[in-house]
Each structure stands twice: as structure tokens, then as C-alpha cells.
Amino acid sequence: MSEQADGKRISFFSARSRGWHVDAFWMLLSMVIVLVMWEALVAIFGFPAHLLPRPLAVVYSLIEHWNTIVDNAWDTIAAVLAGYILAVAFAVPIAILIVISPQAERLLYPPLVATQSIPKIALAPLFIVWFGFGIETKISVAFLICFFPIVVDTIVGLRSIDPSLIQLARSMGAPPSRIFLKLRLPGALPSMFGGLKVASALAVVGALTGEYIASDSGLGYILLSASGEMNTALLFGVLIVLSILAMIFFYAIELLEKLLIPWHVSQRSHTQ
């Protein structure tokens, strides 16, 4: 163990620990600049509060409505996670099936592409009819919108194995199942994570869309009511909360990626 830790091999831990403070500094700096410019803009041009509230007014509004925001945020988070997890649970096996069986590909791929060409948001009214105004509608929209990128990127990943590698494995007498588990699947992970990261952002879009059209809870619902009341400070506050949540989600997936595929070219140290 100690030999590995001391070795000069490029570990993502060392790469991260070096860059961590620097990254945080730049992020903080860029946020401060945005806030200062925002405050200055409002002060100089005297925008009315219902168009562009001062940053401080947004903070006050956040504090004032904090409990409501937190309660509703849980609804949104639940819908995002449920839609996302369901999408992964269905998309990955279907992608595997399509790759290992030509029959499954002929059977599944055309309807998959066909449903993909329907704008998912256009399906939302249908979900209202089916599921009503509960969390199911939100989950369904999030699920549908996440599904396709995961399927496509998993298929691409599983297919991009070097044919010579399969030849090599067969010459070692490996059965197809072993080739799949030990060579194809690990090789597909980088591409799969591409899809998983895109889908993580889309899941939030899906859940919010669901909340816009058919919900009486969630951050999307608060956004709509705040907009109706011209409560722009609250609008901004919820937007900030939403983007922070989406960022946490995205980075959680990225962390998982770093843990699972530290060997991939995308995970190596930036400083070279």
C-alpha cells in the first residue's frame, strides 16, 4: 500500500489536492465579481426591484422563505433522483441488450429513436392525464428526458471495444460472458459517464418542467408562484438554490466517475 502511495504515479488524489484551493479561490473570486457588478448595475441604472432586485434583497428573501424553499426543494430532489435512477436502471440493461443481440437491436432501436424524436415536454400533458398532479408526472418527464443520452452513450461505449482485443481474449479461450464483463463493460465506462453527466443536468430540467405544468409543490412551483406575484427577489433566490442543487448533483456523478475510472485519459492530471 505505502509503496503505491509513495510512487510517482499520477493519482487523482494528488492532482485534486493540489488544485482544490486554487479552484475554490477562482470560483469565489468570480462569484464576488458577479455580485459586485450586479449591485453596481442596480445602483447606477436604478432598476426597479420587481425587474432586478439588489443581491442583498435576494438574500433577505431567501432567509424569509427558507423553510418553504427547503420543503419544496425536497420534492424536486426526490423527483430528480427518482427519474434519474429509473432512467439508469432501464437504459443500461436495454443498451446492453441492444449491443449483445442483433435481434434486440432491430426490435428495440427503431421505437427508441421514434420516441426520442417526440419532444419530451410535449408528452407532459399526457402524463397529467395518466398520473395527475403528483410526483409521478415529474418523475416521468425526468425519466424520459434522461433515458436517451444514457442509452446512446452506453451503446457507443460498449461498441467501441477494439476488435483485436476480442480476438485476443478468444485466443485465450475466454467465453463471451467473461469478455463482456472484464473487457467490454470496463471499457464502456468512460463513455457511459458522458451520458450519465449529460443526463444529470437533464433530470433537473425534466423535474422542473413537470412542476411547471402539473404540480402544487417543488421549486418549479415556487418559481411560478413567485413570478405571478412579481416577487423577483424570491425568483432569484430559488434560481440560486436550484443551480447549487444541480451543481451538487453533477459533481456527485463526476466524483463517482473519478472513483470508478481513475485510469481514464479524462481523469489524468491537468498539469502536464
Complex with other proteins: residue 100 or 189, whichever CB lies closer: 189
Q: Give min distance, CB of 11 to other proteins, in A.
A: 10
How far apart are alpha carbons 90 and 76 in whole angstroms?
21
Neighbours of 26 (CB within 10 A): 10
* Residue 159 binds to other proteins (criterion: CB under 8 A): no
Q: Give min distance, CB of 91 to other proteins, in A.
A: 22
* Residue 183 binds to other proteins (criterion: CB under 8 A): yes
Complex with other proteins: residue 106 or 170, whichever CB lies closer: 170
Give the residue, chosen from 1, 2, 3, 46, that forms a contact with other proteins under the rule CB under 8 A: 3
- Stretch of 56-64, 111-119, 143-151, 179-187 contacting other proteins, by CB under 8 A: 179-187
Q: Give min distance, CB of 99 to other proteins, in A.
A: 19
How far apart are alpha carbons 264 and 126 in whole angstroms?
42
User: What SS3 class is residue 175?
Assistant: coil
Complex with other proteins: residue 123 or 174, whichever CB lies closer: 174
Give the residue, chosen from 64, 71, 162, 229, that forms a contact with other proteins under the rule CB under 8 A: 162
Complex with other proteins: residue 18 or 182, whichever CB lies closer: 182
* Residue 177 binds to other proteins (criterion: CB under 8 A): no
Contact yes or no for 105/94 (Cβ under 8 A): no
How far apart are alpha carbons 57 and 52 in whole angstroms?
10
What does DSSP assign to residue 184?
Answer: I
- Stretch of 16-24, 40-48, 180-188, 197-205 contacting other proteins, by CB under 8 A: 180-188
**Per CB under 8 A, which of residues 241..270 are in contact with other proteins?**
261, 263-265, 268
Alpha helices, DSSP H only, in the chain? Answer: 2-6, 12-45, 55-64, 66-100, 102-117, 120-131, 135-159, 163-171, 176-179, 185-213, 219-228, 232-260
For residue 28, CA distances in Å to 17, 31, 219, 248 come to 17, 5, 25, 16
Which residues form the interface with other proteins (CB under 8 A)?
3-4, 7, 9-10, 162, 164-165, 167-174, 178-179, 182-183, 186-187, 261, 263-265, 268
